[in-house]
Structure formats: C-alpha cells, structure tokens
Homo-oligomer: A and B are copies of this chain.
Amino acid sequence: MGNLAASLKNVGKKEDKRYEEDPDNAWNCCSWCEYLLIVILSTILLVGVLILTLFWVMFYRGGFAWSESPAHQFNLHPILMVAGFITLSGFSILIYRLCRCMKHIYVKLIHMFFHAVAIPCVALGFLSVFDSHNALQKPSFYSLHSWLGFVTMGMFVLQFVIGFFSFLVMLCCENKTYSCRAAMVPVHASLGLANFWLAVATAVTGLIEKERETAKDETLSSENRLIEHYITSAIGITLVLIGIIVTFAVRRSNAPASAKVYVTERI
C-alpha cells in the first residue's frame, strides 16, 4: 500500500520528480558489473582506435605535414576525423548516458563541450583532405566515402545546433519550453546514434579506399602492404566494435524492465 501511496504522490508531482532518482530503479550487482565493463571496454576501444590510427599514419604513411607536402597533409585527415567523429563524439554520447554522479545540467554541458571540441577536429580534417586533393589534382567529392562524409558532417552540424538551442538555450524559459524539449529528446537521441553509425560507416569506407590504393602501390614491399592491410582492418574492426558497444550502452535502460519509469526522467 506504501508503494501505491508513493505512486499517487508521484503522479501529482510529476514535474518535481524530473531530476530525482527513481527509487524503483535500484541497481543490482549485475547492473554495476555491466556498467563497469561498458565504461572500461569503451574507453579502451575509443582511445585504442585513435592510437592505432596514429600508429598507422606515423609509421606506415610517413607522418604529418601541412601544405608543404600534400601527401603527408592527407594523413591529418584520418586521425582528425577519427578523433572528432569517433573518439570525442563516442565519449560525449557515453558520458551523457552513463554519468550518474553529477547534476544533469553539468552532464549536458560536458556532452556539448566534447562535441564542440570535435568541431575544429572535423573542420581541420576536412580542410586537410580538400587541400591535399587540390594540390595533388585528385578529384574531390567523387567517391562514396566523400558523399557519406558530407551527410555525416551535415547531420553533425544539424544535431549540434538543434541540441544547443533545444536543450541549453531553451532552458531560459524552463517551464514554457518543457513540452518542446521533451519532444526533442528522442529525436536528438535517435539521430545522434544514427549519426555515430554513419561516421563509423564513412570511416570504414575511407579505410577500404586507402587500403585498395596501398595494395596497388608498387613502391611498397609486399610485407609492408600486408602489415598495412592488417592495421587498417584492425582499425575497421575496432570502429565497428565501438559502434556496437555505444549502441548497447545507450539503448539499454538500466531500470529493471518490470519497473515504471518516467520518460521525462532526463531531459
């Protein structure tokens, strides 16, 4: 009967309940183990893919340069895009869903900060490949990779602008914009996840393009080509594993499935 009374009280106080802990949503040992496993595994993978890309570019593609060496300028593209679209965006998404130790507004700000840091990475990554292709007189915006990249960048900017206005600027009139913000949550979340997978798909197409180019490069020894093939494949597999773990981490509700949850719990 205590539960029923609490439930009645909750119905009346729906608005006040928003940022509070749901007493039904108690975590058991298994939930905590899963939580820790996801945090550790995703950190390893997100940092790992960046290190692997850096290793590949530094030791097998000749390192970095800017416009003085267009071939090496290109090398900034994979590393900056992986940093912006995968590592930073991945952490941003995971922090938003997994961080349970601070006020929700701070979590939002960290989520925005990570995405904001990703913007210069992506912009520089785009410039580096554009400049390099221009200098080497290669066609730009021709391959499937470039088209997918365009869609990914467009959706990223759209999501950033929508998220910034809907969930931060609109907070200035908190009560009046409540239903609008609430309606935007599932849209922002689903498009964000789709955008992340789009980035993964774009990255693997880029890797395959580069790998095919390397495979035909007669100036490299066959041993080096084989090692590069394994490195790029490992990066591709890691990217896909990151996609799986992020989808799993953000999709799975931590509430026991028999509990009632407030959809408005986190807006």
Contact = CB atoms under 8 A, between A and B. Distances in A.
B144 A244 contact: no
A191 interface: yes
Contact of A247 (B145, B194, B258): B194
A251 B263 CA distance: 13
Name A's interface SS: helix
A11 B3 CA distance: 9
A208 B144 contact: yes
Contact of A251 (B12, B143, B186): B186
A104 interface: no
Given A8-B7, A201-B197, A244-B198, A183 B257 contact: yes
Interface string A183-221: 101110111011001101100110111011000100000
A43 interface: no
Interface in A1-16: 3-4, 7-8, 11-12, 14
A233 to B, nearest CB: 4
Interface stretch (A69-77, A108-116, A124-132, A235-243): A235-243
A194 B257 contact: no
A74 to B, nearest CB: 17
Contacts of A251: 186, 189-190, 193, 251
Interface string A149-183: 00100010000000000000000000000110011
A261 B253 CA distance: 13
A59 interface: no
> 7 closest A-B pairs (Cβ-Cβ)?
A190-B251, A182-B257, A194-B247, A197-B197, A212-B212, A194-B244, A144-B236
A216 B217 CA distance: 13
A239 B155 CA distance: 16
